[in-house]
Chain A
Amino acid sequence: MPIPEGCAMQEHWPAGRPRADATFEAWVTAIRPRLVGLARRFLWNTHDAEEVAQEALGRAWDKGAAWLETPARNAWCYRTVINLCLSRRRKRKETELPAEELAGGISETEAVETAELSGRVRLVLAELPDKQRAAVILRDIEELGYEDIAAILATSAAGARLLVHRGRETVREILLGRWPESFKS
């Protein structure tokens, strides 16, 4: 079935893939902004984030109509976006891009100068181990429940909770060690 006219997916749809139908389009409309937002938390680049979200949705479509009816599609897409983001970041590291781009789009100097806690937190989040970082982002920014995070990260709810708690503790410790003035109001 062809994509409806004016559909946002048309201009982004990967070449060579079968065309999406209206049901898929409705789901895409709901989930795509969330996937882009999630990818931005990892990549801090809107263009890259949109590419990653698009790739994940294309792969989801390839899995077939029956699979697209299941709730598993949402967790799968989030997981795929996270994996694609981490893969992109690893490739960036290999090509030795500037440190500030690896550290969340801002330089350490900039973070100190702006003295803005959110910039520092962003910087520190980029230093967390991959799974901890993903868990903290999903819980504290995306505000997902532990059951949902567990489904996305392919772990248990207790495991997801542990990842989040450890990630929070690490963020706090790094902030206190590097910028102790951050918490002085």
Chain B
Amino acid sequence: MNCRTAREWIHLLLDDELSLGDRRRLDEHCQTCADCRSRRSQFTMIRGAMRASQVPVAGEPLVFTSPRRRWWPIPVAAVAAIGLLIGGYLLLGVSGSRHERMIVGNAPALKPAVEIVTAQNGPQELQVADAGSAAPAVEVEINPESNLIAVPMTTDNPKVTIIWTYPKIELAALGEEPRPERQRF
């Protein structure tokens, strides 16, 4: 062990974060290095002096941080959305009495890339297409009172249409004139 490591470990020692084995290694280093030995001793004395006038407070330790966020909600949401999709497909495909629309929300894992093909008459009428497929562009009606745009997408089952919803904030970037280039949003 060199002195640089020992200096870092002295702080870990003060923080009570040093394993028993590492404490022994630090001890061995301090037995041969007077500088690190006095340094360790000084920090220990300072710590003792700081706590000398401390008045202990009774009661349970306070909780300062919220429980960590679990990592699984997003995948679970995606799986749930897929389950909803398949369930709806089977349900409608079997019963099949009428054409149904199934609305799927903003499940990130399922959200396809969508490109604006044309924007005519301002942002109120758009044609969009799934950038990842050869499906033809579809017309989209924009509800000015909603924060979402709904994009219908056909599926292999003619009785099922998926409606993807997207935040409308990107529409603010559109001008009144049709844009010559395809713009991703």
Enumerate chain A interface residues (CB-CB to B < 8 A): 30-31, 33-34, 37, 70-72, 74-75, 78, 117-118, 120-122, 125, 136, 139-141, 144, 146-148, 151-152, 164-165, 168, 171-172, 175-176, 182-183
Contacts and interface: CB of A to CB of B under 8 A. Distances in A.
A141 B50 contact: yes
Q: How large is the interface on B (under 10, 10 to 19, 20 to 34, 35 or more residues)?
A: 20 to 34
Interface of B: 11, 14-15, 38-39, 41-43, 45-47, 49-55, 57, 59-60, 62-66
Contact of A171 (B46, B60, B65): B46
Contacts of B45: 117, 182-183
29 contacts: A34-B57, A37-B54, A37-B55, A71-B63, A71-B64, A71-B65, A72-B66, A74-B63, A74-B64, A78-B64, A120-B49, A140-B14, A140-B50, A141-B50, A141-B51, A141-B54, A144-B64, A148-B64, A148-B65, A165-B11, A168-B11, A168-B43, A171-B46, A175-B42, A175-B46, A176-B42, A182-B45, A183-B42, A183-B45
B65 A75 contact: yes
B49 A118 contact: yes
Contacts of A165: 11
Nearest to A77: B62
Given A71-B63, A78-B64, A148-B64, 14 more contacts: A30-B62, A71-B64, A71-B66, A118-B49, A118-B52, A118-B53, A121-B50, A122-B53, A140-B14, A168-B14, A171-B46, A172-B42, A183-B38, A183-B45
Contact of B62 (A34, A118, A141, A183): A34
Q: Which of B11, B50, B63 has the most CB of A within 10 A?
A: B50
A168 B46 contact: yes
Interface centre among B46, B54, B63 (most CB of A within 10 A): B46
Contacts of A117: 45-46, 49
Contacts of A125: 50
Contacts of A140: 14, 47, 50-51
B50 A118 contact: yes
A37 B57 contact: yes
Nearest to A119: B49
Contacts of B62: 30-31, 34, 74
Contacts of A31: 62
Contacts of A146: 15
Contact of A172 (B43, B53, B55): B43
Contacts of A147: 64-65
Contacts of A139: 15
What are the nearest 7 A-B pairs in CB distance?
A: A148-B64, A118-B49, A117-B49, A75-B64, A118-B52, A121-B49, A71-B63
Nearest to A31: B62
Interface centre among A151, A165, A182 (most CB of B within 10 A): A165
Contacts of B47: 140
Contacts of A151: 64-65
Contact of B57 (A33, A70, A172): A33
